[in-house]
Chains A and B, each alone.
Chain A
């Protein structure tokens, strides 16, 4: 029990550090690498929660594909590596206001609603349960997501193509 909480604390601290890095760093490539820390951290949290399949899908899809896509985007738009002007606009206060308010209200609400509810994990979720859920209960949404991915694929090709 204690080992889990220690692991959670370490991973959560790393994730918080990475998240602040994503929105604060002045180097675009560093922001992408900070995002890797956050996503790898959330994959580790999924393993703590017994959701191994989601964790590995997260590693494959996010860290394997999405981050690479981001790095391609950074290179193709020739984002400045050593920017002469700041990467942030001067709305820092107006950004801190809603996000701070959101964090406070949401945090208070969660503490009020779930208090000290515990998670009782007996065993990691077997992959059979997830496949049954996807291919039986949520079969139609699964197919719709497939069509959506195809539409996104074609849309991205049409948008980015030179003619």
Chain B
């Protein structure tokens, strides 16, 4: 197996995630795109871990996984709060600070 095939897959996933974050209107879908980018980072970390014969990459992947879980929890709580106040989960409606 080539190292690059995993890295290129990760790059594609990350780019797709960026596209989703910019183009999606529903806040839950934006959070899913962020999750896509985190998955891409994890693929890279584990690929380098296998390539360099070091466990550090896998440990880092586990840390990223934990942070991602915490991020989703807090993020969904914030989305819920926005929904309760604005009766919409559409990010275009969150424009209170717009001049």
Q: Which residues of A contact B (CB under 8 A)?
A: 1, 4-5, 8, 12, 15-16, 19-20, 22-23, 28, 31-32, 35, 38-39, 42, 45-46, 48-51, 53-54, 57-58, 61-62, 65-66, 69-70, 72-74, 76-79, 86-89, 91-92, 94-96, 98-100, 102-103, 106-107, 110-111, 114-119, 121, 125, 129-130, 132-134, 137-138, 141-142, 145, 148-149, 152-153, 155-157, 159-160, 162
B28 — which chain A residues lie within 8 A by C-beta?
A: 28, 70, 73-74, 77, 79
Cβ B4 vs Cβ A91 within 8 A? no
Complex alpha-carbon distance, A20 and B13, angstroms: 9
Main secondary structure, interface of A, reads helix
Cβ B15 vs Cβ A106 within 8 A? yes
Show 27 residue pairs from A and B whose CB-CB distance is below 8 angstroms, ordered by the A residue. A5-B1, A15-B9, A20-B16, A23-B24, A51-B46, A58-B65, A62-B39, A66-B72, A77-B89, A78-B89, A79-B26, A87-B24, A95-B23, A98-B18, A102-B14, A111-B4, A114-B4, A118-B3, A119-B6, A121-B1, A121-B50, A130-B59, A133-B56, A133-B58, A137-B56, A137-B59, A141-B63
Cβ B11 vs Cβ A28 within 8 A? no
Complex alpha-carbon distance, A87 and B49, angstroms: 38
Number of B residues near A (Cβ < 8 Å) is 67
Cβ A54 vs Cβ B61 within 8 A? yes
With A12-B5, A114-B4 known to touch, is A45 a contact of B46 (CB < 8 Å)? Answer: yes
- Interface residues as binary, B62-98 with A (CB distance below 8 Å gives 1, 0 otherwise): 1101111111111011111101100001001000000
With A70-B32, A79-B26, A119-B1 known to touch, is A54 a contact of B46 (CB < 8 Å)? Answer: yes
With A145-B66, A148-B70 known to touch, is A35 a contact of B58 (CB < 8 Å)? Answer: no
With A22-B16, A31-B32 known to touch, is A77 a contact of B9 (CB < 8 Å)? Answer: no
Complex alpha-carbon distance, A61 and B35, angstroms: 13
Main secondary structure, interface of B, reads helix
Complex alpha-carbon distance, A145 and B66, angstroms: 8
Could you say which of A23, A46, A121, A156 contacts B19, with CB atoms under 8 Å apart?
A: A23
Complex alpha-carbon distance, A53 and B27, angstroms: 32
A45 — which chain B residues lie within 8 A by C-beta?
A: 6, 9, 43, 46
Residue of B nearest to A100 (CB): B15
Cβ B35 vs Cβ A42 within 8 A? no
Cβ B23 vs Cβ A23 within 8 A? yes
